[in-house]
Amino acid sequence: MWLSNPIADPLFWSFIKVVGIVLGVALVVLLVLERRHLRELHRRELFRRLFTWACIAPLYSVAILSGRIPVLLITCLMVFQGIREYATLVGLPRTYRWVLIGMGVLAPPAALHSPLAFYVLPALLLLLATLQPLLIRDRRGGVRHLAFAVFGWSYVAWLLGHIMLIYLYVDQGPRLLLALGWSVALSDVAAFAIGKPLGRHKLAPRLSPNKTWEGVVGNFLGAYLGMGIMYVTLQLNLRGYLAWTFPAVIAAGALWGDLLESAIKREFEVKDAGGWLPGFGGLLDRIDSLLLVLPLAFYTLSLTRLL
């Protein structure tokens, strides 16, 4: 359906109830942990992250359950903001930025027509993109900027466009998108909660000094916990072996996406991609895990359906 009433979905209130309970428990735990800093609680990183989650979760869930148009709109908005932050991060000139944003918002709508259109679009846009350094005649940085622009389009717009592929062409698509968002969130939270106090063994010190192997354990525990909760709450129907292996795909994708963005930021000596979201930085800092999880989930689900 192009538009639907999310409240009419019998699973909506179950999902909201579970999210509310988890956020409530998290708030109680946070108050206990930060009991010595209650006067400045609003400045504490964990509280700011929890506040951001409390805002994002309802917005994301309502959009996913409201039909194709809201899903398309929220995906395009994420593409728009994500590309803006990426272009600033890598230092693209203004002309490249606006062309990249314009081309970026074409990716999600392409999936509305067919998966084939979604896969043909990159080839067509690449051909058009090669004209830009020729028209601008930038002898020093034209090809370099083109390379960063093409990567940025693929990294942000095309990977995020898999939201539409999952929504439209995968069984239980909307429910799976809710489960993926929730599992990625808990994967990141568990990695932070376990890795920060217990982390002793560095994972990739040159890329991300704060990442530890203990945090990786948290990644996987959070993904399995999140998927387990959503499997029951959303009444998902996955094959037996997929139910057990799918959270591992989510955890691996979340870790992969996080390290990839860390590598990009390390290359350009930037701490955060922006300051849009309290406690996280930019939108790109929040969705970096989701960017890799989405295509991995889509291809895993598509492949297992064919087997």
- pLDDT tens for 70-106 read 999 999 999 999 999 999 999 998 888 888 999 999 9
Q: 304 falls in which pLDDT band (50, 70, 90)?
A: confident
Specify if 37 maps to a domain: no
Specify if 13 maps to a domain: no
Both tokens of 288, joined, read 């970096």
At 306 the pLDDT is 58
Instruction: Report yes or no: 192 and 184 within 8 Å, Cβ to Cβ.
Output: no
Instruction: Report yes or no: 250 and 293 within 8 Å, Cβ to Cβ.
Output: yes
At 139 the pLDDT is 67
Specify if 205 maps to a domain: yes
- Tell me the angle at which helices 142-152 and 115-129 cross, rounded to the nearest 10 degrees: 170
Specify if 50 maps to a domain: no
Q: What is the tens place of the pLDDT at every residue in 168-218?
A: 999 999 999 999 999 998 898 888 888 878 878 888 888 788 888 998 999
Q: What is the tens place of the pLDDT at every residue in 259-303?
A: 999 999 988 988 888 888 877 788 999 899 999 999 999 999 988
Instruction: Report yes or no: 16 and 61 within 8 Å, Cβ to Cβ.
Output: yes
242 pLDDT higher than 80 = yes
Specify if 33 maps to a domain: no
How many structural domains does the chain have? 1
Specify if 58 maps to a domain: no
Strand (E) positions, the chain? 202-204, 208-212
307 pLDDT higher than 60 = no
Identity of the amino acid at 252:
A
67 pLDDT higher than 80 = yes
Specify if 11 maps to a domain: no
Q: What is the mean pLDDT of the chain?
A: 88
Tell which residue, 248, 252, 237, 242, has the closest CA to residue 292: 252
Tell which residue, 298, 302, 303, 287, has the closest CA to residue 254: 287
Specify if 112 maps to a domain: yes
Query: For residue 219, what are the domain limits?
Result: 68-306
